[in-house]
Chain A
């Protein structure tokens, strides 16, 4: 019993957020331009490390925000710093990779979800939602908000429906740290919604679940 990953899509089919936990098979890093910035620090190609550390460089513009000023800014950088341990497995040689790059994988997940949604609607003849599907190794759950955001979670095949968890993520961290966050532009088509607060509180929420182990 475990949770593997969480994808959030906006109504323009863009993946705006990604987080994973117990994945053993990982996608390769995203191809340049295939994915919006600000989705998840872990899935972008690593930028070349600058020779000198910015924080120690007195000429750096960043230096004005050094710890002495006591100011904490939750600005979304292209590659947000995250208080969580970075998912360093991404940088390892891809012996246990799925063979797909992350942006391709994100598009496939969206495609499957969208097709299944249409299939269920067509078959039921009314506005019925697709809830989940199960294969031999995982189960995919969907929760769609009225504003068109789609929360997709992959878990162990034996867990019950996790729709309520996705709803909780929406009504808790998502509303609090994304919708009510003036620094996040929603529906921008140019930027994901990743930020420290949302990531930590989602992480905490998922790790507190009984099915997470």
Chain B
């Protein structure tokens, strides 16, 4: 039961927000490594929806390793929210919905925010910190 990371990926596959939580979960990587991983995830997500054996499918929603999982929320505008948690984290989906809400309130309604560009908003940071801890 732990949340280790949050990514926001724009519709072109660029990582626009990345934050780690909880010190002892996963190793910290460099900013460049996170950018690469987010790009890879974006590509995989597109391919997974084409591999369906039974008709139209969404892209990957949950990706699991042996000790952690990535829960992915794809919004109607193509922005992806990715939450990295421990395997047993039943609240991942609802947390992502709340993150989306915070994003809509503090990023999309911010007149100084340029769409598809990295999120530099103190309001968003505080909302996320309140939601997920620091």
Contact = CB atoms under 8 A, between A and B. Distances in A.
A4 B61 contact: no
Interface stretch (B41-49, B92-100, B125-133): B41-49
Contacts of B57: 135-138
Contacts of A123: 26, 29, 37, 65, 68, 84
Interface residues on A, range: 35 or more
A24 B54 contact: yes
Contacts of B54: 4, 22-25, 137-138
Contacts of B50: 98, 100, 108
Contacts of A112: 44, 47-48, 51
Interface string B42-77: 011001111111111111111111111000000000
B23 interface: no
A25 B66 contact: no
A111 B40 CA distance: 11
A78 interface: no
A138 B52 contact: yes
B65 A134 contact: no
A22 B52 CA distance: 12
Interface of A: 4-5, 20, 22-25, 98, 100, 105, 108-109, 111-112, 115-116, 118-120, 122-125, 128-138, 140, 154
22 contacts: A4-B54, A22-B53, A24-B54, A108-B47, A111-B47, A115-B40, A116-B44, A119-B63, A122-B29, A122-B33, A122-B37, A129-B66, A130-B63, A131-B64, A133-B61, A133-B63, A133-B64, A134-B61, A137-B53, A137-B54, A137-B55, A154-B51
